[in-house]
Amino acid sequence: MEKREVLAFDNITFRRDGREILRGVDWTINEGEKWVLLGLNGSGKSTLLGMVPVFTHPTSGELRVFKKTFGKYPWEKIKSKVGFVSSTMYSFYNTLNYYSLEEIVISGKYSTIGIYQDLETEDYIIARQLIKDFNLEYLKDGTFLNQSQGEQRRTLIARAFMNNPELMILDEPCASLDLKSREYLLKTLNDKYEKTNKPLVYVTHSIEEIFPAISHVAIMESGKIIYKGRKEEIISEDILSEVYNCKIKLNWENNRPWSRIIW
Ligand SMILES: Nc1ncnc2c1ncn2[C@@H]1O[C@H](COP(=O)(O)OP(=O)(O)OP(=O)(O)O)[C@@H](O)[C@H]1O
C-alpha cells in the first residue's frame, strides 16, 4: 500500500547574503513516520523546518505539506494543522508573558493568544489533560513570565498538542530541560506517538533522545540531508563516527540508542 505523503522538501535551496544555506534538500515524510533530524550546529535544520510556518521562503525547489504546494495554496489553512515549537519563535513567546498556564495551553486550539470565544467544556478537559500529561499541574497559578525556560518549553509543547495537529514539528524540545524533565517529556511523547499514525519531526543533538516510537532518522550536514532512512539503518557507529568526525560507540537499550565518544 502506498504511503500518504505529509511533508515534502523537493530540491529546496535557501540563499541569504550570497551564502547557500540549504543546498538542494530532498526529504519526504509520510503518514505514520516519526522522524528525528540530527545535524551539526549551523547545518540548516531550523532554517529548513522554519519554511513550514513560513519564517523563511525557499529560494528554489518545492515545499509540499499535505500534498499542497507552498505558493499555490492558502497557507493559513496548512499552518492551522501543523504544531510547531521552536526556540526561533522568541518574539511570539514574549506575547505570552502575562497569561496563565491554562490560558496558554487552551489558546492552542486556534493557534492564537488572547481569543477565547467558542471554547467548550471539552476544550477545558483537553487542556487540563495536557497540563497533566506534560507534568505542569504545579504551575497552574503562575504566569508564563515566571516560569523557568524548561517549564516554558513544556508549556508550549502542551499548547501545540491542543488542536491535535496533523503534523507536529518540535525543534530541540529538550533544550534547557533537566535530566528528569527531559526523561518525563520523552516518555510523554513516546506514549503519544506509539499510539498514533500522525507524523512527527523532532530535531535534536542528542542521540539518546531518539525514543522508541521514533521510526526514521535524517542527518543534515552543510545544508543537505546526507543520510535518511529507518533509524536502525542510520543510527550506526560507522555513520555517526563519519558525521561527527570522531569515534562513537553506541549502545541500544530497550530500543533506544545511547552514544559516547571514544577519545
Ligand atoms: N536569516 C538568515 N540570514 C543569514 N543567515 C542565516 C539566516 N538564517 C540562518 N542563517 C545561517 O544559516 C545557517 C544554518 O542555520 P540554522 O539555524 O538553520 O542551523 P541549525 O542546523 O538549526 O543549527 P543549530 O543546531 O545550531 O540550531 C547558519 O550558519 C546561520 O547562521
Reported as a single tens digit per residue, the pLDDT across 36-86 is: 999 999 999 999 999 999 999 999 999 999 999 999 999 999 999 999 998
**pLDDT over 70, % of the chain:** 97
Helix (H/G/I), strand (E/B), else coil: 35: strand
Verify that 170 and 160 share a domain, yes or no: no
What's the mean pLDDT in 30-38? 97
Nearest 5°: the CA angle 225, 227, 231 is 125
Verify that 48 and 76 share a domain, yes or no: yes
The residue from 112, 136, 165 where one domain ends is 165
- How far apart are the C-alpha atoms of 190 and 187, rounded to whole Å? 5
Residue 67 lies in a domain: yes
User: Which amino acid residue places its CA nearest to atom 16 of ligand 1?
Assistant: 44
Which residues are bridge partners to 68 per DSSP?
65
Residue 257 lies in a domain: no
Q: What pLDDT, on a 0 to 100 scale, did the predictor assign at position 3?
A: 81
Verify that 171 and 76 share a domain, yes or no: yes
Verify that 194 and 151 share a domain, yes or no: no
User: Any long-range contacts for 138-141 (C-beta under 8 Å, 24+ apart)?
Assistant: 139/101, 140/100, 140/101, 140/102, 141/100
- How far apart are the C-alpha atoms of 44 and 10, rounded to whole Å? 15
The β-bridge relationship of strands 68-69 and 82-85 is: unpaired
Q: What pLDDT, on a 0 to 100 scale, did the predictor assign at position 115?
A: 58
Q: Is the pLDDT of residue 90 over 90?
A: no
Q: Is the pLDDT of residue 245 over 70?
A: yes
Verify that 1 and 129 share a domain, yes or no: no
User: Count of domains in the chain?
Assistant: 2
Verify that 199 and 173 share a domain, yes or no: yes
Instruction: Give me ligand 1 centre to Cα 89, in Å.
Output: 14
pLDDT digits (tens, 9 = 90+) for 153-207: 999 999 999 999 999 999 999 988 999 999 999 999 999 999 999 999 999 999 9
Element (H, E) at 181: helix 179-194
Between 119 and 220, whose confidence is greater? Answer: 220
- Is residue 58 within 6 Å of ligand 1 at its C-beta? no
The domain containing residue 139 runs over which residues? 88-165
Residue 258 lies in a domain: no
Instruction: Give me ligand 1 centre to Cα 46, in Å.
Output: 7
What CATH number does the domain containing 21 carry? 3.40.50.300
Verify that 215 and 154 share a domain, yes or no: no
Q: What pLDDT, on a 0 to 100 scale, did the predictor assign at position 35?
A: 98
Verify that 76 and 179 share a domain, yes or no: yes
**pLDDT over 90, % of the chain:** 84
Q: Nearest to residue 114, comparing CAs of 127, 125, 129, 98? A: 98
Q: What pLDDT, on a 0 to 100 scale, did the predictor assign at position 1?
A: 62
Average per-residue pLDDT in the chain?
93
Verify that 127 and 145 share a domain, yes or no: yes
User: Which amino acid residue places its CA nearest to atom 5 of ligand 1?
Assistant: 16
- Is residue 188 within 6 Å of ligand 1 at its C-beta? no
Cα–Cα separations (whole angstroms), residue 175 to 35, 74, 162, 182, 228: 18, 33, 21, 9, 23
Model confidence at 103, in pLDDT bands (50, 70, 90)?
very high
- Where do we find the cell 501543523? 82
- Is residue 204 within 6 Å of ligand 1 at its C-beta? no
Which residues are bridge partners to 35 per DSSP?
201, 216
Model confidence at 116, in pLDDT bands (50, 70, 90)?
low
- How far apart are the C-alpha atoms of 85 and 62, rounded to whole Å? 23
The yes/no answer to whether this complex scores an ipTM above 0.85 is yes
φ and ψ at residue 203, rounded to 5 degrees: -95, 135
- Is residue 112 within 6 Å of ligand 1 at its C-beta? no
Q: In what order do the strands lie in the sheet with 19-30?
A: 19-30, 5-16, 60-65, 68-69
- Is residue 173 within 6 Å of ligand 1 at its C-beta? no
Which of 20, 23, 45, 56 to probe ligand 1 with, by most ligand atoms within 8 A of CB? 45
Verify that 115 and 159 share a domain, yes or no: yes
Among 31-45, 75-89, 123-137, the least confident range: 75-89
Does the model's pTM come out above 0.90? yes
Write out the E strands in 96-210: 167-171, 200-203
Cα–Cα separations (whole angstroms), residue 70 to 62, 66, 233, 256: 7, 10, 31, 35
| Cell (9 digits) for 245 | 568526525
Verify that 60 and 116 share a domain, yes or no: no
